[in-house]
Amino acid sequence: MSGSEVVIVGGGVTGLSAGWWLARSGVKVTVLDKFIVGWEASGRNGGGASHYSSPLFDEEQRLWPQMDELLGYPTEHQKGRILIAMTERQWDQYRFIAERHTRLNHPVEVLDVKQVQEAVPLAGDNCFGGVHYKFGGHANPQRTVQAYAWALQDLGGKIIQHSPVTGFETAGGKVTGVKTANATYGCDAVVVAAGPQIPQLMAQLGVDVPLAAARAEMIITEPAPMMPLGGVDGHKIYGRQTLRGNLAYGGGPHEWLDVDATGPAARPSTPLARNLAKRLAELLPKAAHLNVIRSWAGVIENSPDGRPIIDRLTSPDNVVVASMSSVGFGLSPASGHAIRDLVIDGTCSFTNIDLLKLSRFDGLEKDWREKRGWMPIA
């Protein structure tokens, strides 16, 4: 497909990675974004890169340590994570997860309180212990998104920002063009990676993609002294110490939303910042004096089983749809590779992604959201 033209709808981390992978294969790539690359959930998440539940896990793990070099731009990727248990229940759960990793040959070490404090000096003696994943890691979402965009441009790809996609042109069972308010972009293939806007866009092609959007929140502190290991999770919050030293953390209850074709109307944070602050102060008691300096929210979509949808349609047969179902950042090196394979070869070369096919939702009832309570507050 070298020399063919692929239009990518959505300049989030998934679309940009896909575009970068395609450009590496000689494809002429145009990424269309409604605003600025990475502006939605791709630039607002915790930066984790340790998704062992995914079929893309091995590829995620293989690629992250190489990404700075492959992209040519720094991502702030750091290896390893620690889960700190703050209750007896969490201690049981985390050791259960550790056993599971051991069974699957993922290197982990169970740490006692003293070992936790050595790796995470901001932790206290109020914890039960921890589990050190000697795999996975974390990176800076905002820097990484821009790195994909720039790397894509360096390979000749185009990024068209401030250009919401309004529709498609089709002919002969294929999408032949992608329309914005000002232009139509001719194409040989299309990748729709538009996050919460996927259902509205795909409906224009007569394809039903069941996704529900929700808002989630994070807080960040002023810098703390650098810890030996920055990827610290546990106590039902996720996050990381940035390379600058800030503690960026999220977690907790989400709010289901309706998102129309133009994207989230707003991304308001709420007093949930206080509940995040409580848990972070408990998880890292020696950081309790640090100032919180910002909070923010992002809107992410989930599929009915919470797993990604990465699929090439049968009709129109030159369309790949990709939603990472609220877990897209860390997996992006691998999801982009999988999408590239589907666009060019029609099948994923490095792992079986049948689990991620859209057809698994064929029997889904129309009112699945209402039935299970994934609905906005009336």
Quote the least distance from Cβ 142 to other proteins, whole Å.
Answer: 4
Amino acid (1-letter code) at residue 122: L
User: What is the H or E stretch that residue 335 is in?
Assistant: helix 332-344
CA distances from 299 to 11, 207, 263 (A): 15, 22, 9
Strand order in the sheet with 108-111: 108-111, 129-138, 78-85, 232-234
Cβ-based nearer residue to other proteins, 2 or 352: 352
Question: Which two structure tokens, joined as six digits, stand for 358?
Answer: 């859209």
Would you give the binding string for other proteins spanning residues 80-99, x where CB under 8 A is met? ------------xx--xx--
- Residue 183 lies near other proteins (rule: CB under 8 A): no
Quote the least distance from Cβ 180 to other proteins, whole Å.
Answer: 14
Cβ-based nearer residue to other proteins, 318 or 323: 323
User: What is the H or E stretch that residue 177 is in?
Assistant: strand 174-180
Q: What is the DSSP letter of 323?
A: E
- Residue 238 lies near other proteins (rule: CB under 8 A): yes
Give the side-chain half-sphere CA count within 13 A for 61: 16
Size of the site for other proteins (CB under 8 A): 99
Task: Choose the binding region for other proteins from 71-79, 128-136, 168-176, 187-195 (rule: CB under 8 A).
Answer: 71-79
Site residues (CB under 8 A) for other proteins, limited to 291-350: 291-297, 299, 302, 304-307, 325-327
- Residue 129 lies near other proteins (rule: CB under 8 A): no
**Judged by CB under 8 A, which of 109, 118, 169, 255 binds other proteins?**
255
- Residue 59 lies near other proteins (rule: CB under 8 A): no
Name the residue with tokens 């002919």.
171
- Residue 74 lies near other proteins (rule: CB under 8 A): yes
- Residue 62 lies near other proteins (rule: CB under 8 A): no
Task: Give the phi and the psi of residue 8 in degrees, each rounded to 5.
Answer: -110, 125
- Residue 144 lies near other proteins (rule: CB under 8 A): no
Question: Which two structure tokens, joined as six digits, stand for 206?
Answer: 């007569």
- Residue 126 lies near other proteins (rule: CB under 8 A): no
Cα 247 to Cα 98: distance, rounded to the nearest angstrom: 25
Residue 286's closest CA among 238, 244, 247, 251? 247
- Residue 281 lies near other proteins (rule: CB under 8 A): yes
**Judged by CB under 8 A, which of 59, 76, 311, 341 binds other proteins?**
76
Residue 318's closest CA among 47, 6, 72? 6
- Residue 377 lies near other proteins (rule: CB under 8 A): yes
CA-angle at 148, arms to 187 and 214, nearest 5°: 85
Task: Choose the binding region for other proteins from 15-23, 46-54, 196-204, 341-349 (rule: CB under 8 A).
Answer: 46-54
- Residue 253 lies near other proteins (rule: CB under 8 A): yes
Cβ-based nearer residue to other proteins, 54 or 318: 54
Contact 155/24 with Cβ under 8 angstroms?
A: yes
**Judged by CB under 8 A, which of 142, 166, 176, 200 binds other proteins?**
142
